[in-house]
Structure 1
Amino acid sequence: MKEVEAVKSRDTIKLISYLLERHFGQQMADVWNIGLNLALRISDLLAIKFSDIQGDRLTIIEQKTGKQANIILNAKTKALIEEIHQRHPDHIYLFQSYRSQQMQHAAPKPLSRRAVTKAFAFVGEDIKVALGTHSMRKTRGYHLYQSCKDIGRVMRMLRHGSEAVTLRYIGITQQQIDKDFVELEI
């Protein structure tokens, strides 16, 4: 599997959202925008049910780790979820598959990981960014680190076991850490 990147430019983040909507529809742009704000693995993001959301909190058990993720929803995420719920009041899943002819008579299922992977790869190729489903999680971690410079805080948000894993995961290199030491004089 190809290594994907954190998207470091806020303009590129917006461009990705725009291109996903333009080429694949509002639902795929919603996956990107909500995924950026929740920093969940794609399997957990796609499995979210409206019943997992109580007020301004999302509570799920992560599929990979078995750990509980209890995430407060920011205003942007709450608004996006409400818009989705208004568009699709009968849906069980936040990102429910509904376009396929087969889906109209089948039990509800979430959007497939494969569909999201394909859409993200297409947009990534278009803008020359190694974009994948993990890019949302990495991007959130990267931008949190840039705003607070507290790797422990980022590690806790991503529910990682070590700081070294988190630094590598969000794309922070020794060169960038050295630059921070040189540029910040007290």
Structure 2
Amino acid sequence: MTGSKYIDYDRASNIGRRLIKDEENKNFGLLIICGINLGLRVNDLLQLTFEQLKGEAFIVIERKTNKKRQLKVNEHIRDALTFFESDLTYQMGGSAFTSQKGTIYSPQHVNRQLKKYLRGNFSSHSLRKSFGRRVWENDDYSDRALICLSQLFNHSSTQITRIYLGIKQEELNDIYMSL
């Protein structure tokens, strides 16, 4: 597989929560949590506001495809948001992913920070891939999950989704052997 790789969901979640709780880089920790739980491309992720994240669900129009997508805010994101309740930006519903200077992170900044905190060949796409891997794993590695992810990621086939998620034939063989 070329390009960025996925990161283990639990590892990414732990790093995101640590960054939030230790207040080392709260907004970036939230970006990691949202990235692995929403499966958005980085440009769509960076446009999210606290107003959207405070709700049960929200709609984004994906910049790359111009398609509407409804997303639900899960318990992992809600738990992370509790650490922001006293922040003025949170209270006013402003941009969720801003630097200390108040500017929205750039995709390049996100990639640099991911390499720093995750230590490896990770990029913003790694968060999206981790989301996909988690969905596939949580659905017992089913074809149904791959079909749903293929639609969600706007892939033309489940084979492209398998390649995108880095699912190798050995993993598929292991599934059969575990039955």
Query: TM-score when scaled to structure 1?
Result: 0.78
Q: Which residue of 2 aligns with 1:170?
A: 165
Cα deviation for residue 117 of structure 1 reads: 1.1
Aligned pair 1:41/2:36, yes or no?
no
Matched-pair contact (CA < 8 Å) for 1:60–1:70? yes
Counterparts of 1:58 and 1:39 in 2: how far apart (Å)?
Answer: 14
- Pick aligned residue for 2:137 from 132, 146, 149: 146
Q: Which residue of 2 aligns with 1:94?
A: 96
Q: Which residue of 2 aligns with 1:68?
A: 68
Report the 3-state secondary structure (helix = DSSP H, G, I; strand = E; otherwise coil) of the residue aligned with 2:59. Answer: strand
* Structure 1 unmatched runs, 5+: 104-108
Distance 1:122 1:53, change over 3 A: closer
Cα deviation for residue 137 of structure 1 reads: 0.7
Q: Which residue of 1 aligns with 2:110?
A: 116
Distance 1:135 1:23, change over 3 A: farther
Counterparts of 1:28 and 1:18 in 2: how far apart (Å)?
Answer: 10
Rg bigger for which structure?
A: 1
Matched-pair contact (CA < 8 Å) for 1:19–1:123? no
Counterparts of 1:96 and 1:61 in 2: how far apart (Å)?
Answer: 20
Report the 3-state secondary structure (helix = DSSP H, G, I; strand = E; otherwise coil) of the residue aligned with 2:71. Answer: strand
* Structure 2 unmatched runs, 5+: none
Distance 1:162 1:81, change over 3 A: farther
- Pick aligned residue for 2:123 from 122, 132, 136: 132
**Structure 1 vs Structure 2 CA RMSD:** 2.6
Distance 1:123 1:82, change over 3 A: closer
Counterparts of 2:55 and 2:127 in 1: how far apart (Å)?
Answer: 23
Query: TM-score when scaled to structure 2?
Result: 0.81
Counterparts of 1:162 and 1:60 in 2: how far apart (Å)?
Answer: 23
The C-alpha deviation readout for 1:111-154, integer Å capped at 9, x for no partner, is 222221111112233xxx32111111100100111121231122
Matched-pair contact (CA < 8 Å) for 2:9–2:131? no
Q: Which amino acid aligns with 1:17?
A: G
Q: Which amino acid aligns with 2:77?
A: T
Matched-pair contact (CA < 8 Å) for 2:51–2:93? no
Identity over aligned residues, as a percent? Answer: 20
Distance 1:110 1:85, change over 3 A: farther
Counterparts of 1:23 and 1:84 in 2: how far apart (Å)?
Answer: 10
Aligned pair 1:78/2:72, yes or no?
no
Report the 3-state secondary structure (helix = DSSP H, G, I; strand = E; otherwise coil) of the residue aligned with 1:134. Answer: helix
Q: Which amino acid aligns with 1:138?
A: K
Report the 3-state secondary structure (helix = DSSP H, G, I; strand = E; otherwise coil) of the residue aligned with 2:152. Answer: helix
Map 1:20-39 → 2, pairs under 5 A: 20=19, 25-39=25-39
